[in-house]
Amino acid sequence: MNYSASTAQTHSTRATTKHGGAPLTLEARGLGKTFNGFVAVSDVNLHFSGNGVFGIIGPNGAGKTTLFGLLSGFIKPSTGAVSCNGEEISRLEPEAVARLGLIRSFQITSIFGHLTVAENLAMPMQRRDSSGNQFWRVNRALDTYRDEIDETMQRVGIASSWRDQPAADLSYGLKRSLELGVSLAARPRILLLDEPTAGMSTQDIGHIIDLIRDVAAERMVIMVEHNLRVVSDLAREIVVLQQGRVLTVGPYAEVRQNPQVIEAYLGGQREHGHA
């Protein structure tokens, strides 16, 4: 199948919203990115709509990371455009994209290890409620957002005893939980997660799956994930990339039976749960 702009065909991934009103949307139109002559993403057309989890999968070199960067505003497209809730965001800086309600977390933990757990959570809360030019005053922020910090810690499964401890002292699994908490503290309408379970133990993965399922009930979550068991557990729609293009889109049960996907992506690893 060809899902390029030349065929005027756009893949739609849809889910119902928890509340009434128009569903959230994130749309890519003719999206492409070239690095020094290398085509990383080519002619991608996607339309995400509504709350729930949507997965992006594909073999190494398929263009997942580049597409993720394009959707979140961290990479500027060579061709095409990205729109969030009808507003084009392709040329906006990541901070401006975040203020529209689209927040991205990274594959590598991006929390500040020298700050306490509470301080890490207070920063996006203050940034969310300020003009963006206000100097961060730690004591004031910790006091202003005390209840919200405690509620966020409880939601992501970090014990209150960690509140005033350096984030660097957390286990790897708790650091990833804190990173998700930091993302949630910005109150995103659309949350992009880059390999949220990478490097986690089985127990930690189970916790993160439950947490993502919970937060996706009230917002759109788009994630790149190598662990296919996580994808099958969470994602109602999956985008499969191959060589920078969309190979197919559909529910996991449908995608995993697609001969093109089996040949290009899953292959002999089809039953092993990892790409």
Query: What 3-state DSSP class applies to 148?
Result: helix
91 and 194 assigned to the same domain:
yes
* CA contacts within 13 A on the Cβ side of 168: 5
Q: Are residues 259 and 194 in the same domain?
A: yes
Provide the pLDDT for residue 17. Answer: 40
Integer angstrom CA distances of residue 231 from 143, 249, 275: 39, 13, 11
Residue 106 lies in a domain: no
Which spans in 186-245 are helix H? 202-215, 228-234
pLDDT at 16 over 90: no
pLDDT at 270 over 50: no
Q: What is the enclosing helix (H) or strand (E) of 216?
A: none
Q: Residues 238, 153: one domain?
A: no
Residues 270 and 245 reside in one and the same domain: yes
Q: Does the pLDDT value for residue 32 go beyond 90?
A: yes
Q: Which of 259, 268, 248, 263 is nearest to 57 (CA)?
A: 248
The three-class DSSP label of residue 228 is helix
Least confident among 10-14, 104-108, 246-250, 266-270: 266-270
Expressed as residue numbers, the domain containing 140 is 112-187
| pLDDT given for residue 240 in this prediction | 93
Tell me the mean pLDDT in the region 134-147: 79
> Does residue 107 lie within any of the structural domains?
no
Q: Which residues pair with 44 in a beta bridge?
A: 31
* pLDDT tens per residue, range 99-128: 888 998 865 557 899 999 999 999 889 888
The burial of 59, by beta-carbon neighbours within 10 Å (0-12 exposed, 13-18 middle, 19 or more buried), is given as middle
Last residue of a domain, one of 160, 187, 214: 187
Residue 22 — pLDDT band, cuts 50, 70, 90? low
For the segment 263-269, the average pLDDT, to the nearest whole number, is: 58
Number of domains the chain is built from: 2
The pLDDT of 141-163, averaged and rounded, is 93
Its sign, for the CA torsion 177, 183, 185, 187, is negative
pLDDT (average), residues 207-235: 92
231 and 133 housed in the same domain:
no
Average pLDDT, rounded, for the chain: 84
Contact 251, 81 (CB under 8 A): no
User: Are 198 and 230 within one domain?
Assistant: yes
pLDDT band at 132 (very low <50, low <70, confident <90, very high): low
